Amino acid sequence: MTPPGGPAPAARIRAACSEARSHLARIERQIEHRAERRTITAKAKARSSRRHQAGWSPADERLFRELVELLTFERRGDIEALS
């Protein structure tokens, strides 16, 4: 028999915390993937004549970071609810 307020509530709290971290990580991955897709699309439109150029320029990286910030701001409600 477990005492009231014993290990069972602590285990539930740990499980809920772990689940919230998992959801936050999933949201972060979604934001980064969406920002990457948008950056690649913008990059392709801007450089349609240079097909063989590999890698990202500093401007591409800057655009990616700006898009990550924008998408994070758009998802702030979900992020705050899980935090």
Domain membership of residue 65 as a residue range: 35-40+56-83
Residue 70, domain member (yes or no): yes
Distances, alpha carbon 40 to alpha carbons 28, 37, 81, in Å: 18, 5, 30
Structure tokens belonging to residue 30 = 């979604």
Which pLDDT band, with edges at 50, 70 and 90, does 9 fall under? confident
Residue 25, domain member (yes or no): no
Residue 83, domain member (yes or no): yes
CA 78 to CA 56: how far, in whole Å?
30
Domain count for the chain, please give it: 1
pLDDT in tens, 16-75: 899 999 999 999 999 999 999 999 888 777 665 555 666 788 888 999 999 999 999 999
Residue 64, domain member (yes or no): yes
| H or E stretch covering 47 | none
pTM for the whole structure = 0.72
Please report where in the chains the tokens 């950056």 appear, as a residue. Answer: 39
